[in-house]
Amino acid sequence: MRQNLNILFAFLFLIGMVSCGEKKSNAEHNHDEGHSHDHGHSHKHDQVKLSDGTYKVDTQKSFIKWTGKKVTGEHFGKMMIKEGAVIIKDGTVAKGSSFDMDVTTLTVDDIPVDNSMNAKLKGHLHSADFFNVAEFPFVNFDVTKVENGEHSGEINVTGNLTIKGITNSITFPAQLMSHDGTMHAIADITFDRTKFEIKYGSGSFFEGLGDKTISDDVQLELQLLAKK
């Protein structure tokens, strides 16, 4: 009798082990199905719903991060937006949208503020060698054409960029989002500073600069929020 009970208990224990193993396997499978492996970089583009009209740029929340590169490294900082308006037509950004960047708010963020080199670089960027802020305190961008991008919410923006009174056309991709009626646009913009007569340290115009050469390209990361 005792032998039969032992056999029965062993059989029940074996069934329990198999059952637990199946549950664990199913749980791991479900976790894998629900877990994104792109670590936050989703490739899904939700449909953006923006009602037509004029959206005023929120100058307190919008900003531009600038990056300038040189042979020995790079410098970066931010600029605020003075004012701007985004025109939405047929659910997307339209010609006539514009915004002004306030160069007087330019900051240098890669060097500690209490380091004398911070003020020195900031002063040089404000000087006539670069943006000549005393005479041209603002940089303007006016949208002239918008085309649909590859995915929903993506657009290719063409417009006139004006720096130091000189205007050139540039094109860049942008991503549109909508949060509770607020339009949010993100864009990575690159422009050639020498086309705006900012030639200081440019290897395209000066020889023998060596490791003092500064890249002609300036990179801007735009974070633009606007609301009706």
Average pLDDT value for residue range 133-146? 98
Query: According to the CATH classification, is domain 53-227 in 1.10.3720.10?
Result: no
pLDDT in tens, 72-115: 999 999 999 999 999 999 989 999 999 999 999 999 999 999 99
Q: What is the mean pLDDT of the chain?
A: 85
- pLDDT tens, 10-26? 444 444 444 444 444 44
User: Partners of 67 in the beta sheet?
Assistant: 76, 219
Distance CA 187, CA 181 (A): 20
| Beta-carbon contacts of residue 144 (< 8 Å; ≥ 6 apart) | 95, 158, 159, 160, 169
Element (H, E) at 31: helix 2-34
User: Domain limits of the chain?
Assistant: 1-30, 53-227
Instruction: Indicate yes or no: pTM above 0.95.
Output: no
